[in-house]
Structure 1
Amino acid sequence: MATTVNDTFYISHGSPTLSIDESLPARHFLQSWKDKVFPQKPKSILVISGHWDTSFPAVNIVPRHDTIYDFYGFPDPMYKLKYPAPGAPELGLRVKELLVASGFKRVDEDRERGLDHGAWVPLMLMYPEADIPVCQLSVQSERDGFYHYNLGKASAPLKDEGVLIIGSGSATHNLSSSKRNLGGSGVVVPWALEFDTWLKDALLQGRYEDVSHYEEKAPHAKMAHPWPDHLYPLHVAIGAAGENAKAKLIHHSWQLGSLSYASYQFTTAS
């Protein structure tokens, strides 16, 4: 019988340089994952990454993962990194089964796609042995937060089957602003701080419905997320944990003045 996994997580993976930049506190946080955050070894991992955006929910069903370098103009060593984690075909089909049973009429199977950097960069730091089977689930950026909450809610039974559910995005994700701050003072810009603080308070206070409607509720929502793809993995993690789950801030740091690495743990209420 599989060990139950009580917690779900939202990890801010920030910039692809997280894969090599030893100066980033978020990198050291993820490297301490098994010692300080989640010592339990899951049977498999379901990752919802902001870098896989499809019209309908999709799962990747592969025997072993290729490493996708879906970033451009970064240092050469980053393109030599590999994370050959085994695939989790049975998990992919189980996710599809759960989503269809919950009313998602179409769920696609991708039998070629490997892991994008929203998945392999944090996993490389969290589980460097690459020995845990992984499945990815896509986001649908043309839908809303409540839709993604329901995507997570449908996936919740996986926790009782030993599956660790991780949403991977960024608490703030405005690349144009980050590029303007290259070489800057490191001071966090006000709009990013205000949105990030609102998000933290809403999560820690359990105001998950507000988070599902963050576009109307949060300050500077469109500035913090010109596109919603990097926040929707958070909604999936919340949905999988349940409406009475307790949120905990497990890491917080900044890069380039506007890129928040805020990461959260959601513990299902007993």
Structure 2
Amino acid sequence: MDTFFISHGSPRMLIKEMPARRFLESWKAEHFPAAPKAILVVSAHWETAEPAVNFIEGPNGAIHDFTNFPKHMYELKYPAPGAPEIAKRVKQLLHEAGFDGVEEDSSRGLDHGAWVPLMLMYPEANIPVCQLSVQPSKDGTHHYNVGKALAPLRDEGVLIFGSGSATHNLNLQGPDDEPPPTWAMDFDKWLTDSLINGRHEDVKQYEEKAPNAKTAHPEPEHFYPLHVALGAAGERAKAELIHHSWGCWSISYSSYRFKTA
């Protein structure tokens, strides 16, 4: 099974017509028609010192971790079943790969990096979901190796996708109808070229290799889900750009499929 990186952008895609919303709404018809056994989401919005996975019995709760949105946005829910057996398997695989400090969280629901795209991709909310955190204090290689450890899940019917943003600088945003800034376009182009041409080492070391890396990602948490998804696809994975659009002037919604060999 292939893995994916999805740029989830802003929760406003649930209340505004935009290309990224149409992309996610077409997910089952155009990108992934097979129903997975379960879904593992690596979200930019769960940050921990060491990898953590949520062990949820019963339906997942929804964390409304955003501000200044219409009231009804805070009433939205995505009660997909938890996936405790998959969470247990995630912890086992990470432990076998040398990640000994994996934490369990039995109360944390899905943050908006998970439930916002899932609400558009799988609106029925009937597929079990668990979530894995990122570690902003670590680097791209660490997250790639986390993904590499989780690769067996692909053959066990689990859809793995990272949820972040191809570019993410909240201090440099603007109108949707303005052309994106050069720094964002240059980084976005570098990322696509690097992935399609198999330069995985460059992607792992993006802070040194990519143009405008610190401007595109002042903090790394929205980029590391891509490294996990890429690592889970394997060293011979082939990348495909499956969506490309812009929002808030500088936010790239570039999303990728990593085809496993």
Partner in structure 1 of residue 60 of structure 2 = 65
Partner in structure 2 of residue 31 of structure 1 = 25
Partner in structure 1 of residue 228 of structure 2 = 236
Partner in structure 2 of residue 225 of structure 1 = 217
Structure 1 CA distance for aligned equivalents of residues 151 and 70 of structure 2? 39
Q: SS at 1:230's partner residue? A: coil
1:19-64: CA deviation from partner (whole Å, max 9, x where unpaired): 2212x10001000000000000000000000000000100000122
Partner in structure 2 of residue 266 of structure 1 = 258
Partner in structure 2 of residue 187 of structure 1 = 179
172, 176, 192: which one pairs with 1:200? 192
Identical residues among aligned pairs (%): 65
CA contact (8 A) 1:249 1:265 kept: yes
Q: SS at 1:50's partner residue? A: strand
Q: SS at 1:131's partner residue? A: coil
9, 12, 33: which one pairs with 1:17? 12
Opposite residue 219 of structure 2, the aligned amino acid is: W
For the pair 1:245 / 2:240, whether they are aligned, the reply is: no
1:148-169: CA deviation from partner (whole Å, max 9, x where unpaired): 0000000000011100000000
Give TM-score, length-normalised by structure 1: 0.95
Unaligned runs of 5+ in 1: 1-5
CA contact (8 A) 2:176 2:246 kept: no
Matches within 5 A, 1:66-85: 66-85=61-80
17, 38, 57: which one pairs with 1:44? 38
For the pair 1:95 / 2:90, whether they are aligned, the reply is: yes
Structure 1 CA distance for aligned equivalents of residues 176 and 13 of structure 2? 18
Matches within 5 A, 1:24-173: 24-63=18-57, 64-173=59-168
Structure 2 CA distance for aligned equivalents of residues 147 and 221 of structure 1? 18
Q: SS at 1:47's partner residue? A: strand
CA contact (8 A) 1:186 1:255 kept: no
Shift in Å at residue 77 of structure 1?
Answer: 2.2
Opposite residue 26 of structure 1, the aligned amino acid is: A
Structure 1 CA distance for aligned equivalents of residues 160 and 195 of structure 2? 18
Structure 1 CA distance for aligned equivalents of residues 107 and 13 of structure 2? 26
Which 4+ residue blocks in structure 1 deviate beyond 2 angstroms? Answer: none
CA contact (8 A) 2:176 2:247 kept: no
Partner in structure 2 of residue 3 of structure 1 = none
Unaligned runs of 5+ in 2: none
Give TM-score, length-normalised by structure 2: 0.98
Q: SS at 2:20's partner residue? A: helix
CA contact (8 A) 1:27 1:125 kept: yes
CA contact (8 A) 2:60 2:81 kept: yes
Opposite residue 75 of structure 2, the aligned amino acid is: K
Shift in Å at residue 74 of structure 1?
Answer: 1.2
Shift in Å at residue 18 of structure 1?
Answer: 1.5
For the pair 1:214 / 2:209, whether they are aligned, the reply is: no
Shift in Å at residue 105 of structure 1?
Answer: 1.3
Structure 2 CA distance for aligned equivalents of residues 198 and 184 of structure 1? 22
